[in-house]
Amino acid sequence: MNDQSELFERLWSGAATLEDWTASVADGVAHGIADDVVAIHTSYFFGNTTAVRTAEGLVLIDSGSRETAAQTLAALRRWDEAPVHTIIYTHGHIDHTWGARLYDQEADAKGFGRPRVIAHRNVLNRFRRYDVTHDLNSLVMGRQFNQPGYTFPDHHRRPDEVYDDSLRLDIGGVTFELMHGRGETDDATFVWLPQKRILASGDFVVWVFPNAGNPRKVQRYAPDWARALRQMQALSPAVLVPGHGPVVHDAPRVSELLGSGAEALESLVTQTVALMNTGSSLDAILHHVRLSPELCAKPWLQPKYDDPEFVVRNIWHLYAGWFDGNPAHLKPAPDAELAAEISALAGGAERLARRATELATSGRTRLAAHLIEFASDAMPQSPEIQATRVEVYEHCMEAETSLIGKAIFAVYQRDAKARSGG
């Protein structure tokens, strides 16, 4: 067993982490999948690229991110020097599309024709949206990844050709079947190579719990995501190249990965919609819906990036409006007015802050966050209350498993630190 397959076994059993895997592919590795097919990895955190050699040139599925696309290109060129004929985007997220510009530049420098870029039609809508919300995206991404000052890319490389439901391409003797599904995004494509039984799933598979709930992003599509995973499972792939993380080579394991991901999403959707149909409030649903211990135990379904509770919110939002079923939330009082009232009733903002500390240190971080925000809104100028807020959010961050949950609390902890004078 070589080092990579040994590491894979440890990832599959949950003994190794995705950080361990990132360390093993740092600087760019072209991982051989079949004759004429490699997956290029640079880091778990940025999307994989699949490269296919054809008689007409190379076909790439995704192109890498701003941070690592140069490493992806270098790894590709260590493998093959041929011009890039076509780039397929699995979706319009920047860690999959940004690198396309490098292949345009390379083609111009070497006198090749530029590659043709193909994607689902909604990638065009996405890039239009990115143009009008550039500063918002900088802010949201900076907060999500805990990088204040982050700047979102601009000048997105548009696709040259788009499709709607499915598209078959025959390029230099190799068949590529592009199929559209909605999941993390509404512009997603998974790519099936029937001759080799290789599936490039894009971010429908990312080795952690599906990112179908992200609090700061546009709508995600949990039910469609599950359907797409079932569609992929029905193809019986021999090899799966996920959007992020290592390639899965064994057909029964590919089936298990796809099937368990679908089952997790189906379970959340079924439970949430059943309760919505009984007229339950969002609050009741959030605190009632649960995943089975078997699914929670799967190493590739760990809530390290997104959180199943956020997915439930997004399912609610897919089927219903923003009103959550609590009449006080229909036309709420300004936060500061409510905080002043609660604080007066409690005997002062300091008492609320003290109680928040007690709750946070005893593990009741949800309640603690409410009380410390009341205290902070009631006495916004108090450095002592802000210092308590720093501590409370430290406990809140520790209580979260997801990168997104931790990062959002970190944003408000930074705010509290600045206002505490510390």
Which residues are at the interface with Zn ion (CB under 5 A)?
47, 95, 203, 243
Is the Cβ of residue 47 or residue 223 nearer to Zn ion in the bound state? 47
DSSP-derived letter for residue 300 is G
Is the Cβ of residue 93 or residue 196 nearer to Zn ion in the bound state? 93
Q: Dump the DSSP string for 379-393.
A: STT-HHHHHHHHHHH
Min separation Cβ 53 and Zn ion, Å: 24
Min separation Cβ 234 and Zn ion, Å: 24
Is the Cβ of residue 203 or residue 377 nearer to Zn ion in the bound state? 203
Is the Cβ of residue 47 or residue 183 nearer to Zn ion in the bound state? 47
Min separation Cβ 184 and Zn ion, Å: 8
Beta bridge partners, 166, equal: 179
Task: Report which residue's Cβ sits closest to Zn ion.
Answer: 47
Please classify residue 194 by burial: count the beta carbons closer than 10 Å to its beta carbon, then call 0-12 exposed, 13-18 middle and 19+ buried. middle
- Inter-residue contact 247 to 200 (CB < 8 Å): no
Min separation Cβ 409 and Zn ion, Å: 23
Buried b (16+ CB within 10 A) or exposed e, 364-380: ebeebbebbbbbbbbbe
Is the Cβ of residue 203 or residue 263 nearer to Zn ion in the bound state? 203
Min separation Cβ 88 and Zn ion, Å: 14
Contacts (Cβ under 8 Å, ≥6 apart) of 35: none
Min separation Cβ 244 and Zn ion, Å: 6
3-state secondary structure (DSSP) of residue 422: coil
Is the Cβ of residue 203 or residue 373 nearer to Zn ion in the bound state? 203
Number of separate helices (H) and strands (E) present in the chain: 17, 12
Min separation Cβ 91 and Zn ion, Å: 8
Is the Cβ of residue 63 or residue 343 nearer to Zn ion in the bound state? 63
Q: Strand runs (DSSP E) across 254-300, as ranges?
A: none
End-to-end CA, the chain: 52
3-state secondary structure (DSSP) of residue 169: strand
